[in-house]
Amino acid sequence: MARVCLVGSDDVSLQYELLSRETSRNALAAYDLDEPFYNSLAVDTLSLGVAVALLNDLDWYLVRFVDVALVRDPSVSETEWLSRELATAIRDDKLSPAESNRFLKVYGLVGPAGIDTEADTAGENEPNSRSGNSALQLVEPMLVTRTGGMIPEYDLRDVEQTLTVRVTESEFGA
Q: Domain range for residue 22?
A: 2-98
Name the average pLDDT for the chain: 87
Buried/exposed code over 91-129 (b: 16+ C-beta within 10 A; e: otherwise): beeebeeeebeebbbbbbbbbeeeeebebeeeeebbbbb
Q: Based on the domain organization, do 86 and 123 belong to the same domain?
A: no
Q: Based on the domain organization, do 78 and 116 belong to the same domain?
A: no
Give the predicted TM-score (pTM) of the model: 0.85
Q: Based on the domain organization, do 94 and 110 belong to the same domain?
A: no
Q: How confident is the model at residue 121 (pLDDT cuts 50, 70, 90)?
A: very low
Final residue in a domain of this structure, among 98, 131, 161 = 98
Q: Based on the domain organization, do 90 and 118 belong to the same domain?
A: no
28-49 pLDDT tens trace:
999 999 999 999 999 999 999 9
